[in-house]
Amino acid sequence: MKTFEPYIEERLEDLEININSPILEKYIKIFLNKGSAFGSNHSTTQLAIKGITSLPANLSSALDIGCGSGILTILLLKLNYKEVLSIDVDPFALNEAKKNIISNFKKVPQNVILSEDEINEINQKFSLVVANISLNFIYNNFNTIVSLVMNKGYLVISGFNHKDKEKYVNLASKNDMHLVSEFQEKPWISLVFRKLSFWYFQCK
């Protein structure tokens, strides 16, 4: 039986968020229905968004770990990712994510899957993995999360204090993950890593 402590972010009214996309050279509008699943204007979500929108345009597949309201999933779809897997252990969050996706696209696009799968049940690699989730979950499952990133792919993590940066950088370096960029809104920080094997550097 799954045990978890859901993160709550009360939205008492419908919300429209405008996100600047340097890749598409325009603002992306995301509509969120009122609800309680995490993910809207909280700093950790906005920092994760900055990380995602800083990435190149040629990425095709993404995994959204702990999708909550679905805001990052919706962003990925609007950034033209061809395949998005969004997971959350909270079925109520998945229901909200589905509702928000439908509100933005009038239906659930064929290239997105919403699932209660846990990360150790996933058997594929992605060009981007994003996790805006609790500090302990990311740290305790870091090796598994990294294993889901394809070589030359990216990892965006958010949801923790900027003082924990070095802990993640050190952990990442042991997994062929190299820090690309970071975004801060103290006390919060998001980190963007790229998986580049030692072999890659030798061949450059």
Mean pLDDT of 36-46: 93
pLDDT at res. 2: 47
Percentage of the chain modeled with pLDDT above 70: 93
Q: Cβ(132)–Cβ(50) under 8 Å? A: no
The sheet that has 149-161: what strands, in order across it?
112-115, 83-87, 61-65, 126-132, 149-161, 188-195, 177-185
Question: What are the tens digits of pLDDT across the range 11-31?
Answer: 889 999 999 999 888 999 999
pLDDT at res. 198: 52
pLDDT at res. 11: 86
Q: Cβ(117)–Cβ(64) under 8 Å? A: no
